[in-house]
Structure 1
Amino acid sequence: MIPNRLDALMNGLLNDTVFADLVAPVQHALAFVRRAASVGRVLSMERFIALGVWRQLQGMGVLREQVQALDHLRDQLAPQAESVVPLARSTWSDALASTERRAVLQAMIPVLMREVGAVLPDRLAGVPGLDGRPVRAMDGTYQEESAHYRRCTPKQGGEDNPKGHGELVFYNLRLGLAEDALVETRSRHEINLLRDYDARPGALTQEARTLWVVDRAFIDAAFWDRKKRTQGSTLITRMKSNLVVGSRAAMPIAKTPENAGVLRDERITLLSSSQEWRLITLRTRQGRRLEFLTNDFSLLPGVVAFLYARRWDEEKCFDTWKNDFAHAKAWGKSPVAIDNQVCLAIITHALVTLLLHRQFGAEGARDHKALRKQEQRQRKAPSAPDGTERPDWTVPLFRYTSKISRQVLRFFKHSLLSPASPALYEAKLRPLLEAYL
């Protein structure tokens, strides 16, 4: 591939456009990563990330579609350029499967997240007892394999997961963004993936004093006992029926708004653990009884239940990736290519969120039409089929929506080449945050 094939296209894409505005933080973040500038003489890291973000926003799961669309774009932006395709399929495939690029992406994402965290509103501000602690969720999701991947499941004598490629995603509940992920093509239990991730240098699970909100599949008493003992990190999850409780001792429940609906707060021992745990029983507004398990004794029991409910935010992130981004299906068949793809999904989500905040401040994190719908559900009687189980005291804490709405993402999909200006965002983007078209 001749380097200048791509020059005319990239110059047009990044010439004072909405797309240029969107990916501007990439160059700044890459400046803090060693070797970033030396990776990719033909397709630089900055261009690789920009085209990956563009592909995610366009929802293009097929490489041939990406190449053809870039060819048409080049004809539109630089009709005088040579008539060869600006990006060869092999060039993109090789870049996607590059371990060097994966190392750069994994080093760049924490830098980008620090920039995002410095400006985005704290979604858990006002929750009592957190004291600035990192609060994260983790959960697994599955991705359909690429057309070139030949699955061989355990029933067929292989190791591949019959559900597709597994992704263990780590989500920052304060920012409302995914921060990291572990990819696994083999059929393995979630707790084994967690142990693999924890052994990786720079793993988020190694950060001190983190509060983890997880599904019951991640209950491993020995693992979390060690995390609490060595790092001060604790866990919130749902009680599991096969956990054997050794002893119980009732704890007093403070009469505060946060504890509305709490029936019991017990100090317990588990036969599988060397430390004490806590079992909280809550009755929801709709009358359901839920049991929460935690090894954190510093939080109000009602706050524990509230934080577990916020774990649903990560499901909204998965929904955005699979239904709005080009992430439902793998772009390549190697684990490295899948790793790079999920890194590009994390970066794309962060860049969109950051641009919305730069233009509209905290209002950029609020989808008013979605918030109005939530308020209507809250006002319904608890017995209503479409009412909410959310305790009344938590309503002011839901100031920001968990998902970027599809019509907001359509703005970026269809307006990437528009000249960027505050007037454009006010006229075309702000209304999409305020009402349905």
Structure 2
Amino acid sequence: MYGIPDTDAFIFDHCNKSMGQCRISAERYPLWKRACPGLNDIGFIRLGMLRCISLVDSGRHFLQAAEEVHEEQCPLSTYFKSLKSPRRVRMLEAVEQQSYDIYSETLSSHGIDYLKSFPELNDYTVLAADGHFIDHACHTEKGRNGKVYAAGFIYTLNLRNGLLRPFSLITNGTRRHQEIPVLRDELKRENRTKNSTQKCLYVYDKAVTDYAFWNNQIEHGNLMISVLKENSVATFVESIHFDTSHELNTGIESYSTYENNGIRFSIVNYRDPETKKLHRFITTLPGSINPGTIAMLYFKRWTIEKAFNNSKSNLKETKAWSSDNNSLKNQMRLTAMSYNLLRTVEELSKIQDPELIHPSDKKYTEDLEKRQQAAKKRGGFVNPLFFNERIARISSYTIRAVQNAIMTGKSLSSFINALVAKLVPRVNQIGEH
């Protein structure tokens, strides 16, 4: 990675590597492969990532910046037609998967694992999932009721490494969003090719609760954690034994099996030792999983909101590129690829010196210590699991550094060194109760 001469070249190299992996993994000649002299696929992906990372207001603004800043000339018609191409959609779907795998292997090879405190989850891919909505495109046609709505997507965030994945397009803005039916349909589609022995755990908000659907998903290796709806109707069946002395189960009051219309699931009652507030979680995980793990994973679900905040606040991805569904699918995948580039850069900078941490991690630890002292005065304490490493929001400094490096041609190693220079000494943690 450090041998790449500049940041733009690194992006180009990564696109090439991802494309190469697609061709290796394909069982036959990819149907989406085609020579396009006007704008080849690598150029299309690279331009898309540059658009996501650059601070631009529109496609036209980006193409002007690409010509004047990056010396890249691409006719308007060629660029906008390529965004709507069904072939490009299939191509980018394959490339994004390989890009994600490459970044995952990179982070794993450097020992980055934010779920290492939960070894019982080693066999699971743990994904925080949520809908993400942005302004509709300027020329979005009004629906039958004469209104337009926000354009919407579903993303997942891997809670082990912090990488983002596009899951499904919800709406282009011509109709009101229906998030959960889209989620169910996409899972059913994936099940046709998914290996059922691969366990995938989805952590979603309470809107996802559907007893019959998730009960059927167990055979496909798909499980879920959510917060229990206040009006849920279920019958108590039996208590589930758990180790009350284990630190993972701090704050757990009960762990039980419940039933609704013959479908069984587990409910966890967790009382926050700091606030004394009761939280109730529902899951289809087996009873062998610690209930404290289930509670903590739901709290970690909010990490995906930080990714959305990065996208909107730092990358200015607040508006749909088009009302065309193919364009929106491409936007969704290019956004994820760009975010993962930034995430990987920041994670690699943070591990250069084990004695140093990111300023945001220091601030978070100091805030926890203040909360700990305040909680002790009230007779409580902060759950010690909150003192574990967490997936932090990508810093604005890192994102600006990448943007500037692309514009100035700065080498990847030089700006990563600049990021390392911003690290600070670790805070002596108390974290005891």
TM-score > 0.5, shorter chain as reference: yes
Moved more, 415-424 or 367-376: 415-424
Aligned equivalents of 1:343, 1:291: Cα separation in 2: 34
Moved more, 100-109 or 249-258: 249-258
Give the direction of change, closer, same or farther, for the CA distance of 1:424–1:362 in structure 2 (3 Å limit).
closer
Give the direction of change, closer, same or farther, for the CA distance of 1:202–1:43 in structure 2 (3 Å limit).
farther
Aligned equivalents of 2:160, 2:329: Cα separation in 1: 24
Q: 1:382 Cα shift?
A: 5.1
3-state SS, counterpart of residue 124 of structure 2: coil
| Match in the other structure for 2:335 | 345
| Match in the other structure for 1:10 | none
Instruction: Give the partner amino acid of 2:256.
Output: E
Give the direction of change, closer, same or farther, for the CA distance of 1:198–1:426 in structure 2 (3 Å limit).
closer
State which of 115, 121, 124 in structure 2 corresponds to 1:130: 121
- Contact 2:405 2:415 survives alignment (8 Å): no
- Contact 2:349 2:419 survives alignment (8 Å): no
Instruction: Give the partner amino acid of 2:139.
Output: H
Instruction: Give the partner amino acid of 1:176.
Output: G
| Match in the other structure for 1:428 | 418
| Match in the other structure for 1:240 | 229
Residue 250 (str. 1) matches residue 239 (str. 2): yes
State which of 32, 45, 53 in structure 1 corresponds to 2:21: 32
Give the direction of change, closer, same or farther, for the CA distance of 1:132–1:432 in structure 2 (3 Å limit).
farther
Residue 170 (str. 1) matches residue 162 (str. 2): no
Residue 115 (str. 1) matches residue 107 (str. 2): no
| Match in the other structure for 1:88 | 75
Aligned equivalents of 2:94, 2:297: Cα separation in 1: 29
List per-residue Cα deviations over 1:138-174 (Å, max 9, x = no partner): 111111111111332x6x267x5x3x11211122211
Give the direction of change, closer, same or farther, for the CA distance of 1:202–1:320 in structure 2 (3 Å limit).
farther
3-state SS, counterpart of residue 80 of structure 2: helix
How large is the Cα RMSD of the aligned pairs? 2.9
Q: 1:248 Cα shift?
A: 4.2
- Number of residue pairs aligned between Structure 1 and Structure 2: 400
3-state SS, counterpart of residue 175 of structure 1: coil
List per-residue Cα deviations over 1:165-224 (Å, max 9, x = no partner): 121112221121112221122324322111221233578987532122111111111111
List per-residue Cα deviations over 1:241-294 (Å, max 9, x = no partner): 2221122433334121111111121221123xx332111111111221111111
- Contact 1:18 1:417 survives alignment (8 Å): no
| Match in the other structure for 1:265 | 255
| Match in the other structure for 1:380 | 370
Instruction: Give the partner amino acid of 1:293.
Output: I
- Contact 1:236 1:295 survives alignment (8 Å): yes
- Contact 1:184 1:335 survives alignment (8 Å): no
| Match in the other structure for 2:58 | 62
Aligned equivalents of 1:72, 1:384: Cα separation in 2: 55
3-state SS, counterpart of residue 305 of structure 2: helix
Moved more, 204-213 or 339-348: 204-213
- Contact 1:55 1:326 survives alignment (8 Å): no
Residue 275 (str. 1) matches residue 263 (str. 2): yes
- Contact 1:21 1:420 survives alignment (8 Å): no
Q: 1:40 Cα shift?
A: 2.7
Q: 1:363 Cα shift?
A: 6.5
- Contact 1:37 1:44 survives alignment (8 Å): no
- Contact 1:138 1:168 survives alignment (8 Å): yes
Q: 1:225 Cα shift?
A: 0.3
Aligned equivalents of 2:298, 2:158: Cα separation in 1: 13
List per-residue Cα deviations over 1:334-390 (Å, max 9, x = no partner): 0111110111001111222334455665779x96111111111211245859x9996
| Match in the other structure for 1:12 | none
- Contact 2:191 2:220 survives alignment (8 Å): no
TM-score, normalising length from structure 1?
A: 0.83
- Contact 1:280 1:301 survives alignment (8 Å): yes
- Contact 1:198 1:206 survives alignment (8 Å): no
5 Å matches for 1:330-369? 330-357=320-347, 361=351, 368-369=358-359
Residue 151 (str. 1) matches residue 142 (str. 2): yes
Q: 1:51 Cα shift?
A: 1.1
Instruction: Give the partner amino acid of 1:337.
Output: S
Residue 142 (str. 1) matches residue 130 (str. 2): no
3-state SS, counterpart of residue 179 of structure 1: strand
Instruction: Give the partner amino acid of 1:291.
Output: R
List per-residue Cα deviations over 1:305-352 (Å, max 9, x = no partner): 011111111111111111122421011110111110111001111222
Moved more, 38-47 or 421-430: 421-430
Q: 1:298 Cα shift?
A: 2.0
- Contact 2:346 2:398 survives alignment (8 Å): no
Q: 1:423 Cα shift?
A: 5.6
Instruction: Give the partner amino acid of 1:115.
Output: I
3-state SS, counterpart of residue 428 of structure 1: helix
- Contact 2:170 2:178 survives alignment (8 Å): no
State which of 220, 238, 248 in structure 2 corresponds to 1:231: 220
Q: 5+ unaligned residues in a row in structure 2: which ranges?
A: 23-29, 426-433
- Contact 2:136 2:323 survives alignment (8 Å): yes
Instruction: Give the partner amino acid of 1:280.
Output: V
| Match in the other structure for 1:82 | none
TM-score, normalising length from structure 2?
A: 0.84
Aligned equivalents of 1:377, 1:66: Cα separation in 2: 40
| Match in the other structure for 1:395 | 387
Give the direction of change, closer, same or farther, for the CA distance of 1:315–1:86 in structure 2 (3 Å limit).
same
- Contact 1:17 1:418 survives alignment (8 Å): no
Aligned equivalents of 1:402, 1:424: Cα separation in 2: 23
Aligned equivalents of 2:423, 2:194: Cα separation in 1: 34
Q: Percent identity?
A: 22
